[in-house]
Structure 1
Amino acid sequence: MSVQHSSTAYRAFLFDMDGTLLNSIAAAERIWTRWAQRHGVDVVTFLPTIHGVRAIDTIARQHLPGVDAAAEAEQITREEIEDVEGVVPVPGALAFLQSLPPAQWAIVTSAPMALALRRMEAAGIPRPAVMVTAEDVSDGKPDPTCYRLAAERLQVNPGECLVFEDAEAGIRAGEAAGADVMVVTATHTHPMDTVHGQIRDYRGLGVRLEDNGSMRLSTTP
Protein backbone atom coordinates (compact mmCIF):
# COMPACT_ATOMS: atom_id res chain seq x y z
CA MET A 1 0.00 0.00 0.00
CA SER A 2 1.27 3.46 -0.93
CA VAL A 3 -0.45 6.12 1.17
CA GLN A 4 1.28 9.16 -0.23
CA HIS A 5 -1.13 11.66 1.32
CA SER A 6 -1.00 10.50 4.94
CA SER A 7 0.73 13.72 6.03
CA THR A 8 -1.92 15.96 4.44
CA ALA A 9 -5.14 17.04 6.15
CA TYR A 10 -8.31 17.18 4.04
CA ARG A 11 -11.73 18.69 4.56
CA ALA A 12 -13.45 16.12 2.33
CA PHE A 13 -12.96 12.89 0.39
CA LEU A 14 -14.54 12.59 -3.07
CA PHE A 15 -15.04 9.07 -4.45
CA ASP A 16 -15.60 7.86 -7.96
CA MET A 17 -17.96 4.86 -7.89
CA ASP A 18 -17.32 2.19 -10.54
CA GLY A 19 -13.89 0.66 -10.05
CA THR A 20 -13.25 2.78 -6.97
CA LEU A 21 -15.93 1.84 -4.42
CA LEU A 22 -17.43 -1.10 -6.27
CA ASN A 23 -16.53 -3.47 -9.08
CA SER A 24 -19.09 -3.52 -11.88
CA ILE A 25 -16.76 -4.50 -14.71
CA ALA A 26 -18.39 -7.88 -15.41
CA ALA A 27 -21.87 -6.39 -15.83
CA ALA A 28 -20.69 -3.34 -17.77
CA GLU A 29 -18.60 -5.36 -20.20
CA ARG A 30 -21.43 -7.83 -20.84
CA ILE A 31 -23.74 -4.99 -21.86
CA TRP A 32 -21.22 -2.93 -23.80
CA THR A 33 -19.99 -6.02 -25.66
CA ARG A 34 -23.51 -6.58 -26.99
CA TRP A 35 -23.75 -2.92 -27.97
CA ALA A 36 -20.42 -2.99 -29.80
CA GLN A 37 -21.37 -6.15 -31.66
CA ARG A 38 -24.69 -4.62 -32.74
CA HIS A 39 -22.90 -1.62 -34.20
CA GLY A 40 -19.91 -3.36 -35.75
CA VAL A 41 -17.44 -1.86 -33.27
CA ASP A 42 -14.32 -3.91 -32.48
CA VAL A 43 -14.94 -5.24 -28.97
CA VAL A 44 -11.30 -5.76 -27.95
CA THR A 45 -10.22 -2.20 -28.64
CA PHE A 46 -13.52 -0.66 -27.53
CA LEU A 47 -14.03 -2.14 -24.05
CA PRO A 48 -11.00 -0.45 -22.41
CA THR A 49 -12.46 2.95 -23.39
CA ILE A 50 -15.80 2.61 -21.55
CA HIS A 51 -14.56 2.98 -17.98
CA GLY A 52 -14.90 6.21 -16.02
CA VAL A 53 -16.84 8.22 -18.60
CA ARG A 54 -20.51 8.83 -19.33
CA ALA A 55 -22.26 6.41 -21.68
CA ILE A 56 -23.34 9.25 -23.96
CA ASP A 57 -19.72 10.37 -24.32
CA THR A 58 -18.53 6.81 -24.98
CA ILE A 59 -21.08 6.43 -27.78
CA ALA A 60 -20.54 9.89 -29.26
CA ARG A 61 -16.81 9.22 -29.54
CA GLN A 62 -17.52 6.40 -32.00
CA HIS A 63 -18.94 8.84 -34.60
CA LEU A 64 -21.34 6.22 -35.90
CA PRO A 65 -23.59 7.51 -38.70
CA GLY A 66 -27.27 7.59 -37.87
CA VAL A 67 -26.76 6.70 -34.21
CA ASP A 68 -28.57 8.85 -31.62
CA ALA A 69 -26.06 8.89 -28.76
CA ALA A 70 -28.60 10.09 -26.18
CA ALA A 71 -31.14 7.40 -27.05
CA GLU A 72 -28.49 4.68 -27.15
CA ALA A 73 -27.13 5.81 -23.77
CA GLU A 74 -30.62 5.62 -22.25
CA GLN A 75 -30.96 2.04 -23.51
CA ILE A 76 -27.53 1.12 -22.12
CA THR A 77 -28.55 2.57 -18.75
CA ARG A 78 -31.78 0.55 -18.72
CA GLU A 79 -29.82 -2.64 -19.43
CA GLU A 80 -27.26 -1.82 -16.74
CA ILE A 81 -29.97 -1.17 -14.15
CA GLU A 82 -31.46 -4.60 -14.93
CA ASP A 83 -28.10 -6.43 -14.82
CA VAL A 84 -26.17 -6.06 -11.56
CA GLU A 85 -24.98 -9.66 -11.40
CA GLY A 86 -21.43 -9.70 -10.09
CA VAL A 87 -21.47 -6.10 -8.79
CA VAL A 88 -19.48 -6.25 -5.54
CA PRO A 89 -17.80 -3.74 -3.22
CA VAL A 90 -14.08 -3.07 -3.43
CA PRO A 91 -12.64 -4.83 -0.35
CA GLY A 92 -12.73 -2.65 2.75
CA ALA A 93 -14.74 0.13 1.10
CA LEU A 94 -17.81 -0.14 3.32
CA ALA A 95 -15.87 -0.08 6.58
CA PHE A 96 -13.78 2.85 5.38
CA LEU A 97 -16.84 4.89 4.36
CA GLN A 98 -18.50 4.15 7.70
CA SER A 99 -15.47 5.59 9.47
CA LEU A 100 -15.85 8.98 7.77
CA PRO A 101 -17.88 11.94 9.05
CA PRO A 102 -21.10 11.81 6.99
CA ALA A 103 -20.88 15.44 5.89
CA GLN A 104 -17.30 15.13 4.63
CA TRP A 105 -17.51 12.71 1.72
CA ALA A 106 -19.31 12.48 -1.60
CA ILE A 107 -19.66 10.18 -4.59
CA VAL A 108 -18.85 11.64 -8.01
CA THR A 109 -19.80 9.23 -10.77
CA SER A 110 -20.23 9.24 -14.54
CA ALA A 111 -23.26 6.97 -14.10
CA PRO A 112 -26.82 8.35 -14.08
CA MET A 113 -28.41 8.56 -10.63
CA ALA A 114 -30.75 5.58 -11.10
CA LEU A 115 -27.91 3.31 -12.17
CA ALA A 116 -25.59 4.58 -9.43
CA LEU A 117 -28.16 3.85 -6.72
CA ARG A 118 -28.89 0.40 -8.19
CA ARG A 119 -25.23 -0.60 -8.21
CA MET A 120 -24.60 0.88 -4.76
CA GLU A 121 -27.52 -1.12 -3.39
CA ALA A 122 -26.20 -4.29 -5.03
CA ALA A 123 -22.74 -3.71 -3.53
CA GLY A 124 -23.95 -2.52 -0.12
CA ILE A 125 -22.45 0.95 -0.51
CA PRO A 126 -24.33 3.60 1.52
CA ARG A 127 -25.75 6.69 -0.15
CA PRO A 128 -23.96 9.86 0.96
CA ALA A 129 -25.62 13.22 1.50
CA VAL A 130 -23.89 14.53 -1.63
CA MET A 131 -23.80 12.72 -4.97
CA VAL A 132 -22.81 14.16 -8.34
CA THR A 133 -24.00 12.02 -11.26
CA ALA A 134 -24.16 12.16 -15.06
CA GLU A 135 -27.27 14.36 -14.97
CA ASP A 136 -25.52 17.09 -12.97
CA VAL A 137 -22.96 18.10 -15.60
CA SER A 138 -23.00 18.94 -19.29
CA ASP A 139 -19.40 17.78 -19.72
CA GLY A 140 -18.30 14.51 -18.12
CA LYS A 141 -14.88 13.42 -16.90
CA PRO A 142 -12.09 14.34 -17.67
CA ASP A 143 -13.80 17.73 -17.36
CA PRO A 144 -13.31 18.83 -13.71
CA THR A 145 -16.78 20.32 -13.25
CA CYS A 146 -18.10 17.22 -11.45
CA TYR A 147 -15.45 17.33 -8.74
CA ARG A 148 -15.70 21.09 -8.35
CA LEU A 149 -19.46 20.74 -7.95
CA ALA A 150 -19.09 18.07 -5.27
CA ALA A 151 -16.67 20.27 -3.32
CA GLU A 152 -19.08 23.20 -3.63
CA ARG A 153 -21.98 21.11 -2.31
CA LEU A 154 -19.82 20.02 0.64
CA GLN A 155 -18.90 23.69 1.17
CA VAL A 156 -15.16 23.13 0.83
CA ASN A 157 -12.48 24.21 -1.63
CA PRO A 158 -11.47 21.56 -4.20
CA GLY A 159 -7.88 22.05 -3.06
CA GLU A 160 -8.91 20.76 0.37
CA CYS A 161 -10.20 17.48 -1.09
CA LEU A 162 -8.72 14.07 -1.81
CA VAL A 163 -10.20 12.36 -4.86
CA PHE A 164 -10.27 8.55 -4.99
CA GLU A 165 -10.23 7.34 -8.61
CA ASP A 166 -9.36 4.34 -10.74
CA ALA A 167 -9.70 5.54 -14.35
CA GLU A 168 -7.55 7.91 -16.39
CA ALA A 169 -10.46 10.24 -17.22
CA GLY A 170 -11.36 10.59 -13.54
CA ILE A 171 -7.76 11.10 -12.45
CA ARG A 172 -7.43 13.93 -14.97
CA ALA A 173 -10.71 15.43 -13.72
CA GLY A 174 -9.49 15.39 -10.12
CA GLU A 175 -6.18 16.95 -11.10
CA ALA A 176 -7.86 19.68 -13.13
CA ALA A 177 -10.22 20.45 -10.24
CA GLY A 178 -7.18 21.19 -8.07
CA ALA A 179 -7.62 18.24 -5.71
CA ASP A 180 -5.10 15.63 -4.62
CA VAL A 181 -5.70 12.18 -6.12
CA MET A 182 -5.42 8.66 -4.72
CA VAL A 183 -5.51 5.86 -7.30
CA VAL A 184 -7.42 2.69 -6.38
CA THR A 185 -6.07 -0.29 -8.34
CA ALA A 186 -8.43 -3.08 -7.23
CA THR A 187 -9.88 -3.55 -10.72
CA HIS A 188 -6.68 -2.89 -12.68
CA THR A 189 -5.21 -5.79 -14.63
CA HIS A 190 -1.96 -3.96 -15.37
CA PRO A 191 0.20 -1.61 -13.26
CA MET A 192 -0.62 2.08 -13.71
CA ASP A 193 2.16 4.59 -14.24
CA THR A 194 1.07 7.52 -12.08
CA VAL A 195 2.59 10.23 -9.93
CA HIS A 196 -0.23 9.82 -7.43
CA GLY A 197 -0.40 7.66 -4.35
CA GLN A 198 -1.95 4.22 -4.88
CA ILE A 199 -3.90 1.73 -2.81
CA ARG A 200 -5.02 -1.72 -3.89
CA ASP A 201 -8.20 -1.47 -1.82
CA TYR A 202 -9.34 -0.02 1.51
CA ARG A 203 -8.25 -2.84 3.79
CA GLY A 204 -5.87 -1.44 6.39
CA LEU A 205 -6.78 2.13 5.49
CA GLY A 206 -8.14 4.36 8.23
CA VAL A 207 -8.74 8.02 8.94
CA ARG A 208 -7.60 10.21 11.80
CA LEU A 209 -9.82 13.16 12.69
CA GLU A 210 -8.13 16.40 13.68
CA ASP A 211 -9.47 18.82 16.28
CA ASN A 212 -10.45 21.26 13.51
CA GLY A 213 -12.53 18.60 11.76
CA SER A 214 -10.07 17.78 8.98
CA MET A 215 -9.09 14.21 8.12
CA ARG A 216 -5.78 12.44 7.63
CA LEU A 217 -5.31 9.00 6.13
CA SER A 218 -3.74 6.36 8.34
CA THR A 219 -2.80 2.73 7.94
CA THR A 220 -3.49 -0.11 10.33
CA PRO A 221 -1.74 -3.48 10.46
Structure 2
Amino acid sequence: MTSEPTHPSSPRYVLFDVDGTLIDAVANQRRVWERWAAGYGLDADAVHQVALRTRPMETFSVVAPDRDPHECLAVLHELEDEDVRSGVYAAFDGASQLLAGLPPGRWALVTSNYEHRVRGRFARTGLPVPDVVVDAASVDEGKPSPLPYLLAAARLGAEPKDCLVIEDAPSGVESGLRAGMTVWGVNAPTPVEGVHRHFGSLREAVADILAFAAEPCRASQV
Protein backbone atom coordinates (compact mmCIF):
# COMPACT_ATOMS: atom_id res chain seq x y z
CA MET A 1 0.00 0.00 0.00
CA THR A 2 1.12 3.58 -0.58
CA SER A 3 1.44 6.17 2.17
CA GLU A 4 -1.77 8.08 2.78
CA PRO A 5 -1.36 11.86 2.40
CA THR A 6 -2.11 14.31 5.20
CA HIS A 7 -3.50 17.82 4.85
CA PRO A 8 -4.61 20.71 7.08
CA SER A 9 -8.02 20.52 8.77
CA SER A 10 -10.98 20.98 6.41
CA PRO A 11 -14.34 19.32 5.66
CA ARG A 12 -14.16 15.75 4.38
CA TYR A 13 -16.11 14.25 1.49
CA VAL A 14 -16.72 10.64 0.45
CA LEU A 15 -17.15 9.58 -3.19
CA PHE A 16 -18.52 6.11 -3.87
CA ASP A 17 -18.38 3.83 -6.84
CA VAL A 18 -21.70 1.94 -7.12
CA ASP A 19 -21.60 -1.51 -8.76
CA GLY A 20 -19.34 -3.81 -6.78
CA THR A 21 -18.91 -1.23 -4.02
CA LEU A 22 -22.39 -0.41 -2.69
CA ILE A 23 -24.59 -2.66 -4.86
CA ASP A 24 -23.88 -6.33 -5.53
CA ALA A 25 -24.72 -6.50 -9.23
CA VAL A 26 -22.34 -9.23 -10.39
CA ALA A 27 -25.06 -11.80 -11.06
CA ASN A 28 -27.24 -9.17 -12.76
CA GLN A 29 -24.45 -8.05 -15.07
CA ARG A 30 -23.64 -11.62 -16.00
CA ARG A 31 -27.31 -12.36 -16.73
CA VAL A 32 -27.62 -9.26 -18.94
CA TRP A 33 -24.54 -10.20 -20.96
CA GLU A 34 -25.75 -13.79 -21.28
CA ARG A 35 -29.04 -12.59 -22.74
CA TRP A 36 -27.22 -10.18 -25.04
CA ALA A 37 -24.88 -12.94 -26.26
CA ALA A 38 -27.79 -15.32 -26.86
CA GLY A 39 -29.47 -12.72 -29.07
CA TYR A 40 -26.41 -12.66 -31.32
CA GLY A 41 -25.73 -16.38 -31.21
CA LEU A 42 -22.47 -15.93 -29.28
CA ASP A 43 -20.88 -17.93 -26.49
CA ALA A 44 -22.10 -16.31 -23.27
CA ASP A 45 -19.08 -17.21 -21.14
CA ALA A 46 -16.62 -15.89 -23.72
CA VAL A 47 -18.55 -12.63 -24.08
CA HIS A 48 -18.79 -12.13 -20.33
CA GLN A 49 -15.06 -12.64 -19.86
CA VAL A 50 -14.36 -9.85 -22.36
CA ALA A 51 -17.06 -7.61 -20.86
CA LEU A 52 -15.45 -7.88 -17.42
CA ARG A 53 -12.27 -6.24 -18.74
CA THR A 54 -13.56 -3.67 -21.22
CA ARG A 55 -16.25 -1.06 -21.79
CA PRO A 56 -19.27 -2.13 -23.87
CA MET A 57 -18.15 -0.55 -27.17
CA GLU A 58 -14.76 -2.21 -26.80
CA THR A 59 -16.45 -5.52 -25.97
CA PHE A 60 -18.53 -5.35 -29.14
CA SER A 61 -15.45 -4.72 -31.27
CA VAL A 62 -13.90 -7.92 -29.91
CA VAL A 63 -16.85 -10.32 -29.75
CA ALA A 64 -19.02 -8.98 -32.59
CA PRO A 65 -16.75 -7.00 -34.95
CA ASP A 66 -19.13 -7.43 -37.88
CA ARG A 67 -22.07 -5.91 -36.00
CA ASP A 68 -23.09 -2.26 -35.75
CA PRO A 69 -21.75 -1.27 -32.29
CA HIS A 70 -24.48 1.32 -31.80
CA GLU A 71 -27.14 -1.31 -32.42
CA CYS A 72 -25.33 -3.64 -30.01
CA LEU A 73 -25.28 -0.91 -27.38
CA ALA A 74 -28.98 -0.15 -27.82
CA VAL A 75 -29.84 -3.82 -27.29
CA LEU A 76 -27.60 -3.97 -24.21
CA HIS A 77 -29.24 -0.85 -22.76
CA GLU A 78 -32.71 -2.34 -23.22
CA LEU A 79 -31.63 -5.48 -21.39
CA GLU A 80 -30.03 -3.47 -18.58
CA ASP A 81 -33.14 -1.32 -18.14
CA GLU A 82 -35.33 -4.44 -18.01
CA ASP A 83 -33.03 -5.96 -15.41
CA VAL A 84 -33.35 -2.84 -13.23
CA ARG A 85 -37.14 -3.23 -13.39
CA SER A 86 -37.35 -6.99 -12.80
CA GLY A 87 -33.98 -8.24 -11.53
CA VAL A 88 -33.15 -9.04 -7.92
CA TYR A 89 -30.64 -6.64 -6.37
CA ALA A 90 -28.93 -6.49 -3.00
CA ALA A 91 -26.91 -3.81 -1.26
CA PHE A 92 -23.66 -4.94 0.32
CA ASP A 93 -23.79 -5.46 4.06
CA GLY A 94 -23.20 -2.15 5.80
CA ALA A 95 -24.21 0.07 2.87
CA SER A 96 -27.48 1.28 4.40
CA GLN A 97 -25.89 2.11 7.76
CA LEU A 98 -22.97 3.83 6.07
CA LEU A 99 -24.95 6.09 3.74
CA ALA A 100 -27.46 6.99 6.45
CA GLY A 101 -24.61 8.03 8.75
CA LEU A 102 -22.84 10.39 6.36
CA PRO A 103 -23.34 14.18 6.65
CA PRO A 104 -25.79 15.49 4.01
CA GLY A 105 -24.07 17.22 1.13
CA ARG A 106 -20.75 15.58 1.87
CA TRP A 107 -20.94 12.47 -0.30
CA ALA A 108 -21.60 11.54 -3.91
CA LEU A 109 -21.89 8.63 -6.31
CA VAL A 110 -19.46 8.24 -9.22
CA THR A 111 -20.53 5.47 -11.56
CA SER A 112 -19.80 4.16 -15.04
CA ASN A 113 -23.50 3.29 -15.28
CA TYR A 114 -26.37 5.69 -15.99
CA GLU A 115 -28.17 7.68 -13.31
CA HIS A 116 -31.64 6.34 -14.03
CA ARG A 117 -30.40 2.78 -13.47
CA VAL A 118 -28.60 3.75 -10.29
CA ARG A 119 -31.77 5.37 -8.96
CA GLY A 120 -33.76 2.28 -9.89
CA ARG A 121 -31.33 -0.02 -8.09
CA PHE A 122 -31.18 2.22 -5.04
CA ALA A 123 -34.98 2.33 -4.90
CA ARG A 124 -35.05 -1.47 -5.05
CA THR A 125 -32.53 -1.79 -2.21
CA GLY A 126 -33.75 1.10 -0.04
CA LEU A 127 -30.52 3.09 -0.25
CA PRO A 128 -30.65 6.92 -0.24
CA VAL A 129 -29.50 8.83 -3.32
CA PRO A 130 -27.29 11.89 -2.73
CA ASP A 131 -27.64 15.25 -4.45
CA VAL A 132 -24.56 14.60 -6.60
CA VAL A 133 -24.46 11.66 -9.01
CA VAL A 134 -21.79 11.60 -11.71
CA ASP A 135 -22.73 8.98 -14.30
CA ALA A 136 -21.57 7.81 -17.73
CA ALA A 137 -23.41 10.68 -19.42
CA SER A 138 -21.77 13.32 -17.21
CA VAL A 139 -18.25 13.08 -18.64
CA ASP A 140 -16.58 12.52 -21.99
CA GLU A 141 -13.98 10.23 -20.41
CA GLY A 142 -14.90 7.52 -17.90
CA LYS A 143 -12.74 5.71 -15.39
CA PRO A 144 -9.73 5.32 -15.27
CA SER A 145 -9.68 8.98 -16.33
CA PRO A 146 -9.69 11.28 -13.26
CA LEU A 147 -12.51 13.36 -14.75
CA PRO A 148 -15.48 11.58 -13.10
CA TYR A 149 -14.09 12.02 -9.59
CA LEU A 150 -12.89 15.56 -10.26
CA LEU A 151 -16.37 16.49 -11.49
CA ALA A 152 -17.97 15.01 -8.37
CA ALA A 153 -15.62 17.02 -6.16
CA ALA A 154 -16.38 20.20 -8.09
CA ARG A 155 -20.14 19.68 -7.76
CA LEU A 156 -19.73 19.18 -4.01
CA GLY A 157 -17.55 22.27 -3.73
CA ALA A 158 -14.70 20.11 -2.44
CA GLU A 159 -10.97 20.09 -3.03
CA PRO A 160 -9.66 16.75 -4.34
CA LYS A 161 -7.26 16.47 -1.38
CA ASP A 162 -10.27 16.43 0.97
CA CYS A 163 -12.04 13.56 -0.81
CA LEU A 164 -12.05 9.87 0.05
CA VAL A 165 -12.83 7.51 -2.84
CA ILE A 166 -14.33 4.08 -2.10
CA GLU A 167 -13.76 1.63 -4.95
CA ASP A 168 -13.60 -2.08 -5.72
CA ALA A 169 -12.01 -2.16 -9.18
CA PRO A 170 -8.60 -1.23 -10.61
CA SER A 171 -9.98 1.30 -13.12
CA GLY A 172 -11.85 3.16 -10.38
CA VAL A 173 -8.86 3.10 -8.06
CA GLU A 174 -6.69 4.56 -10.81
CA SER A 175 -9.31 7.23 -11.49
CA GLY A 176 -9.35 8.34 -7.85
CA LEU A 177 -5.58 8.32 -7.53
CA ARG A 178 -5.13 10.34 -10.71
CA ALA A 179 -7.63 12.86 -9.30
CA GLY A 180 -5.32 13.38 -6.30
CA MET A 181 -7.68 11.80 -3.79
CA THR A 182 -7.32 9.29 -0.97
CA VAL A 183 -8.53 5.88 -2.20
CA TRP A 184 -9.68 2.94 -0.08
CA GLY A 185 -10.48 -0.43 -1.63
CA VAL A 186 -13.34 -2.69 -0.56
CA ASN A 187 -14.94 -6.01 -1.51
CA ALA A 188 -11.77 -7.61 -2.87
CA PRO A 189 -9.75 -10.47 -1.36
CA THR A 190 -6.44 -8.67 -1.99
CA PRO A 191 -5.60 -4.95 -2.24
CA VAL A 192 -5.91 -3.28 -5.63
CA GLU A 193 -2.55 -1.74 -6.52
CA GLY A 194 -2.23 1.83 -5.25
CA VAL A 195 -4.96 1.91 -2.59
CA HIS A 196 -4.11 3.72 0.63
CA ARG A 197 -6.12 1.22 2.68
CA HIS A 198 -7.75 -2.11 1.91
CA PHE A 199 -10.84 -3.75 3.41
CA GLY A 200 -12.03 -7.22 2.48
CA SER A 201 -15.65 -6.08 2.63
CA LEU A 202 -17.65 -2.86 2.75
CA ARG A 203 -18.89 -3.82 6.23
CA GLU A 204 -15.31 -3.80 7.54
CA ALA A 205 -14.83 -0.24 6.27
CA VAL A 206 -18.03 1.36 7.62
CA ALA A 207 -16.68 2.70 10.92
CA ASP A 208 -13.51 4.06 9.32
CA ILE A 209 -15.38 5.79 6.50
CA LEU A 210 -17.78 7.44 8.94
CA ALA A 211 -14.84 8.52 11.09
CA PHE A 212 -13.11 10.01 8.05
CA ALA A 213 -16.20 12.03 7.17
CA ALA A 214 -16.76 13.21 10.75
CA GLU A 215 -13.24 14.21 11.72
CA PRO A 216 -11.55 17.45 10.63
CA CYS A 217 -8.28 15.60 9.87
CA ARG A 218 -7.51 12.61 7.72
CA ALA A 219 -7.68 9.09 9.12
CA SER A 220 -4.26 7.70 9.90
CA GLN A 221 -2.61 5.09 7.72
CA VAL A 222 -3.11 1.45 8.69
Question: Could you say which TM-score interval applies, normalised by the shorter chain?
Answer: 0.7 to 0.9
Query: 1:68 Cα shift?
Result: 2.6
Q: 1:113 to 1:51 in 2, by over 3 A?
A: farther
Gaps of 5+ in 1: none
Gaps of 5+ in 2: none
Q: Residue 184 in 1 paired to residue 183 in 2?
A: no
Q: Which residue of 2 aligns with 1:14?
A: 15
Q: Give the superposed CA RMSD.
A: 3.1
Q: Which residue of 2 aligns with 1:198?
A: 198
In the aligned structure 1, how far is the partner of 2:131 from the partner of 2:53?
Answer: 22
Between 152-161 and 201-210, the greater mean CA deviation after superposition: 201-210
Residue pair 1:52, 1:169 contacting (<8 A) in 2 also = no
In the aligned structure 2, how far is the partner of 1:49 from the partner of 1:174?
Answer: 24
Residue pair 2:191, 2:198 contacting (<8 A) in 1 also = no
Q: 1:141 to 1:35 in 2, by over 3 A?
A: same
| Greater share of helix | 2
- Overall identity of the aligned pairs, in %: 32
Q: 1:52 to 1:142 in 2, by over 3 A?
A: farther
SS of the aligned residue for 2:140 comes to coil
In the aligned structure 2, how far is the partner of 1:53 from the partner of 1:112?
Answer: 17
In the aligned structure 1, how far is the partner of 2:52 from the partner of 2:103?
Answer: 29
Q: 1:46 to 1:192 in 2, by over 3 A?
A: farther
Query: 1:203 Cα shift?
Result: 2.7
Q: Residue 33 in 1 paired to residue 34 in 2?
A: yes
In the aligned structure 2, how far is the partner of 1:59 from the partner of 1:94?
Answer: 35
Q: Residue 73 in 1 paired to residue 70 in 2?
A: no
Query: 1:38 Cα shift?
Result: 3.9
| Greater share of strand | 1
2:17 alignment partner AA: D
SS of the aligned residue for 1:203 comes to helix
User: TM-score when scaled to structure 2?
Assistant: 0.80
User: TM-score when scaled to structure 1?
Assistant: 0.80
